Amino acid sequence: MVENRSLGQKLDWAVYITFFVVVLCLPLLTDDVFWLNRISKFLVFGLLGLAIALSWGYAGVLNLGQGLFFGLGAYMFAMSLKLKSTTSLQQGSDKPVPDFMVWNAEPGSPTELCCIVPGSWLWLPFQSQTFGMIMAIVLPIVVAFVVGSAIFRLRVSGVYVAIITLALVLLVRLLIIDAQPITNGFNGLTDLGWLELFGIEFDPYMYETYYLVAVSCCLIMLAARWLVSTRAGLILQSTRDDANRSRYLGYDVAAYQIFFFVVSAAIAGFAGMLYVVAAEFASPTFLDISFSISMVVWAAVGGRSSLIGAVIGAVLINSIEASVSETEIFKEAWKLIIGVIFIFVVLLLPRGIAGVARDFARWLEDKHLLSTSKRG
Amino acid sequence: MSYALTVDGLTVDFNGFKAVDNFTTTIDTGELRVILGPNGAGKTTLMDLISGKTTSTSGEVKLFGREITRLNEHQIARAGIGRKFQIPSIFRDLSVMQNLEVSASGEPSVFKNLKYSITQEEKQKIEEVIELTDLSDVLKSSAGDLSHGQMQWLELGMLITQDAKVILLDEPTAGMTKQETMKTADIIKKLKGKHTILVVEHDMAFVRDIAERITVMHLGKLLAEGDIDTIEKDEAVREAYLGSGGIH
Ligand SMILES: Nc1ncnc2c1ncn2[C@@H]1O[C@H](COP(=O)(O)OP(=O)(O)OP(=O)(O)O)[C@@H](O)[C@H]1O
Ligand SMILES: [Mg+2]
């Protein structure tokens, strides 16, 4: 390539490496497992910020319903963990049956997963934890592919995509609440068992779980970064700038948009699964509009056109929120504060924290060039 | 068959209004054809029809004998047609280099583009274009920060890295200073022979500079075709231009 590695790019890598080191060394600095558990949840939110940055920053597709994919991933995996819960084994059957189904069952129905309540047979394959894990990724992928194909083949864009995705997450939220006998409605899936992988039990308040989340998070960040820096990633960014130009250069724009929409959904689905491991529940609140909008705020504050910026934005905002929530007065004011920050960022710093950092790097670079050219 | 482009009976009907009406012409391989016509004659619409932006009502377009009338925009582009728009259409948030890298990929598929590498051939094409368009000093700049003229040249350059066999240029000198116009004429002259070019222009000085054969459109129809002297003497052409002040 003609371009040399610039200071900006070096700074970018420096930020990644610092972030990884900090995240991976955190457990060495503390033995407060509650705090670590909290950080691992924030890292999961970081992945959600990253998923938003991928679709909004790189593809120009503002998805206001990312919670849909997060929720689907979370529910799919929580179903498996629910069946592993000790409570599911105490319902008088030798096979696991979720406790809430027993409470909902018609008197006299068999205490069997196949037929205790209508539709409960859907839970049968989730007795395998692997099945739940696969579905947590595959279902978001399939849904995103279908939705994305419809949206992008019809060349829907801009605010209409936001409206459609918003409507969709609301619809699925209602469906989940409505299917109360098999989803436990508003209450969601609680009292879950632990993930078991390679003979390790992932107690959410143990270092293993923190590392599972942290390492997954780092790997996904690297993979996403690789993806956007390939030529496909560049072509995707070109479709964001001027879709028609990309078309007349010979690219099937919809194919690129669908592909990255699906990747973004898969990341959100995976994040949903990790969240269930760390938080031990899945609930319809994952599909609340306010949650999906929060993700957009995290990405905007961190910098939607920077993947790591969005991750840091998410971790930062959630950390601040958690610490101010401990004071009663601030707890009330927080929503207002975050709203003001969002407006401030959108109006004055459209590229977020990452944008400020990049401008700073460029400024340094110019100064550096200037001084070396003077010397030389 | 040495025709690069064959347009046969091409018609588009916008609710009863025929913006292009039974238009027929053939363009030789390597030819540079200028299309003239008063405002609203249907020149841009003709390019829209050829490049797939608008679907024709009847008639057909052939590229080197291959029918491309019903293909999608991106398929037509891959078949070998490059299109420059009246308003510069480039990737403003990408650097000039990135713009050229996007246009240079010989590979349309998402999955096959999941790689960093750029082939030697692509690299060479990009370098040729940088030289031709004189953009070497601004490779790292955002394309959106370029001057109007540079944007036009970049877009033109992208059609070359795209390896378009037939290039459609819609008013490439619109809004340019005299100097920029001259430079554009130079670039286009250098492309003569290597690419087949179809250019819509209003600037007669520019047209005289570059033109070989000229096609005049009026009310969607072909009015006259021939070299510049023939066209300037043509009665029908004079009449068509009367309302808009004549050719000058
Ligand atoms: N999609 C459309 N629907 C209806 N009418 C259209 C459409 N596109 C173009 N037209 C009409 O077709 C006619 C030809 O337009 P066109 O833009 O092709 O003219 P032109 O020769 O490029 O003119 P100019 O020199 O001003 O660029 C105009 O009257 C225009 O209003
Ligand atoms: Mg026009």
Q: What is the pLDDT along chain B (248 residues), one digit of tens a residue?
A: 579 999 999 999 999 899 999 999 999 999 999 999 888 899 999 999 999 999 999 999 999 989 999 999 999 999 999 999 988 899 999 999 999 999 998 889 999 999 887 888 899 999 999 999 999 999 989 999 999 999 999 999 999 999 899 999 999 988 888 899 999 999 998 888 889 999 998 888 888 888 889 999 999 898 888 888 888 888 888 887 755 555 55
Q: Which of A234, A240, A252 sits opposite B74 (nearest CB)?
A: A252
Q: Measuring CA to CA, which residue among B27, B64, B17 is closest to residue B47?
A: B27
Residue B162 contacts residue A249 (beta carbons within 8 Å) = yes
* A153 to chain B: closest CA residue: B72
- The answer, as to whether pTM is greater than 0.90, is yes
* B113 Cβ under 8 Å from any chain A Cβ: yes
Interface touch A241/B92, C-beta < 8 Å: yes
* B73 Cβ under 8 Å from any chain A Cβ: yes
Name the 3-class secondary structure at A278.
helix
Distance between CA B153 and CA A84 in Å, rounded? 64
Interface touch A230/B114, C-beta < 8 Å: yes
* B77 to chain A: closest CA residue: A250
Ligand 1: does its nearest atom lie under 6 Å from the Cβ of B165? no
Interface touch A255/B116, C-beta < 8 Å: no
* Chain A residues whose beta carbon lies within 8 Å of the beta carbon of residue B77: 247-250
Distance between CA A100 and CA A97 in Å, rounded? 9
Interface test with A, best of B76, B102, B118 (most A CBs within 10 A): B102
Ligand 1: does its nearest atom lie under 6 Å from the Cβ of B221? no
Interface test with A, best of B89, B91, B142 (most A CBs within 10 A): B91
Name the 3-class secondary structure at B118.
coil
* B145 Cβ under 8 Å from any chain A Cβ: no
Ligand 1: does its nearest atom lie under 6 Å from the Cβ of B138? no
B16: left (phi over 0), alpha (psi -120 to 50) or beta: left
**C-alpha B41 – ligand 2 centre gap (Å):** 8
Ligand 1: does its nearest atom lie under 6 Å from the Cβ of B30? no
* A242 to chain B: closest CA residue: B91
Interface touch B72/A252, C-beta < 8 Å: yes
pLDDT in tens, A172-224: 999 999 998 899 999 999 988 898 888 888 888 888 899 999 999 999 999 99
Domain boundaries, chain B: 1-80+168-248, 86-164
Interface touch B115/A246, C-beta < 8 Å: no
Q: Looking only at Cα atoms, what is the longest distance across chain B?
A: 58
Q: Who's near A376: CB < 8 A, 6+ residues apart? A: none
Distance between CA B34 and CA B215 in Å, rounded? 6
Options 3.40.50.300, 1.10.357.10, 3.40.50.1370, 3.30.565.10; CATH for B1-80+168-248 is 3.40.50.300
Q: Which of A229, A241, A252 sits opposite B91 (nearest CB)?
A: A241
Name the 3-class secondary structure at A305.
coil
Protein residue whose Cα sits closest to atom 16 of ligand 1: B42
Q: Who's near B27: CB < 8 A, 6+ residues apart? A: B3, B4, B5, B6, B33, B166, B196, B198
Q: Looking at the CA of residue B19, tell me the nearest atom of ligand 1.
A: 12
Residue A207 contacts residue A25 (beta carbons within 8 Å) = no
Distance between CA B194 and CA B207 in Å, rounded? 19
pLDDT in tens, A66-118: 999 999 999 999 999 999 888 887 777 778 888 888 887 888 778 788 888 88
Ligand 1: does its nearest atom lie under 6 Å from the Cβ of B40? yes
